[in-house]
Amino acid sequence: MPKVSIIIPTYNRAQFLKEAIESVFNQTYQNYELIVVDDGSEDNTKQIIARYKDRLTYTDIPHQGVSKARNTGVNLAKGEFICFLDSDDLWLPKKLEFQMAFFDSHPDALICQTEEIWVRNGIRVNPKKHCLKPSGMMFAQSLRRCLISPSAVMMHRRLFDLVGLFDESFLACEDYDLWLRVTARYPVYLLSLPLVIKRGGHSDQLSRKVEALDKWRIKAIEKMLVSGALTPKQYALAIKELRYKCEIYAKGCLKRGKIKEGLYYLNLPNNYARE
């Protein structure tokens, strides 16, 4: 049985997929299985995969989004630990080795992530200060922005039994939703080494294609507020962030003449206010 299951979800990313797969095969830690979940690609993804058919598990599903693809991979996984690698990202060779060493020395930990090297349009960029990753309990920081990268995490598979899988109803910000559920209850540890190359700037990125990302973050916070999983302090933090995000989104709606939608989001936080 493999110790680690690595899941690459992909959709029309044949131009990047080969490099992502090779970055897995180049890992110094080798006790893993690689699962590629093709979310209904219409390019030459199958031809790329054919080169590696004896070295990975490949499954092709109808196009339903990245959450379905990741969940499909988790359900196929045999490993004790789960890693994700977005098909346009890369791992440096010691990524798995260092994370497995962390779990060996921290047997009670459920999830950790590494630092990243950011590349935009082929040029390395430094993350801004507000994007720096904390370590440990980080629910408050995770409410404001997504500070956990799917390509950088390794998690014990039982974490999904505790908090659930990716929400397949989310068209975007599905990782933000999952990390809120995780960080409300468990620490996320940071390995300070940059072991992931996160490549962005291409025109087909989901964050560029989906409008109103804040609308999905608002939905994720609403889910937390009704979950019953938050402490009073966490609930207050979530309400505060909900008001902030609703105000920004509502102002955008009103500016574009979407009066009904704007007023709805301005009043939405009042539904969750506690006396």
Question: Do 91 and 114 form a contact (C-beta atoms < 8 A)?
Answer: no
Residues 219 and 100 in one domain: no
Confidence of residue 26 (pLDDT cuts 50, 70, 90): very high
Three-state SS for 6?
Answer: strand
The per-residue pLDDT for 129 is: 79
pLDDT surpasses 60 at 80: yes
The per-residue pLDDT for 203 is: 57
Q: What is the residue-averaged pLDDT of the chain?
A: 94
Number of domains in the chain: 2
The per-residue pLDDT for 84 is: 98
Q: What is the pLDDT of residues 157-191, one digit of tens each?
A: 999 999 999 999 999 999 999 999 999 999 999 99
The per-residue pLDDT for 128 is: 80
The per-residue pLDDT for 211 is: 61
Kindly give the pairing relationship between strand 123-125 and strand 111-120.
antiparallel
Residues 65 and 131 in one domain: yes
Q: What is the pLDDT of residues 50-68, one digit of tens each?
A: 999 899 999 999 999 999 9
For the chain, percent of residues with pLDDT exceeding 70: 96
The per-residue pLDDT for 212 is: 80
Give the mean model confidence (pLDDT) for residues 77-97: 98
Residues 228 and 192 in one domain: no
Give the mean model confidence (pLDDT) for residues 74-82: 98
Residue with the larger pLDDT of the pair 225 and 274:
225
CA angle 257, 261, 264 (to 5 degrees): 135
Give the mean model confidence (pLDDT) for residues 89-112: 98
Domain boundary, last residue among 194, 209, 224: 209
Give the mean model confidence (pLDDT) for residues 201-225: 78
Residues 72 and 98 in one domain: yes
CA dist., res. 72 & res. 95, Å (int): 23
Residues 191 and 246 in one domain: no
Residues 234 and 160 in one domain: no
pLDDT surpasses 80 at 207: no
Distance in angstroms between the alpha carbons of the first and the last residue of the chain? 53
The per-residue pLDDT for 126 is: 85
Per-residue burial over 243-256, b if 16 or more Cβ lie within 10 Å, else e, is bebbeebbebbeee
Give the mean model confidence (pLDDT) for residues 38-51: 96
pLDDT surpasses 60 at 210: no
Domain extent at residue 250: 213-271
Domain of 195, CATH number, reads 3.90.550.10
The per-residue pLDDT for 205 is: 56
Residues 177 and 192 in one domain: yes
Q: In 10 A of CB 57, how many CB atoms?
A: 16
Residues 162 and 69 in one domain: yes
C-alpha gyration radius of the chain? 19
The per-residue pLDDT for 121 is: 85
Residues 53 and 122 in one domain: yes
Residues 153 and 235 in one domain: no
Residues 11 and 143 in one domain: yes
Domain boundary, last residue among 209, 233, 263: 209
Domain boundary, last residue among 184, 209, 234: 209
Residues 47 and 171 in one domain: yes
Specify the pTM: 0.93
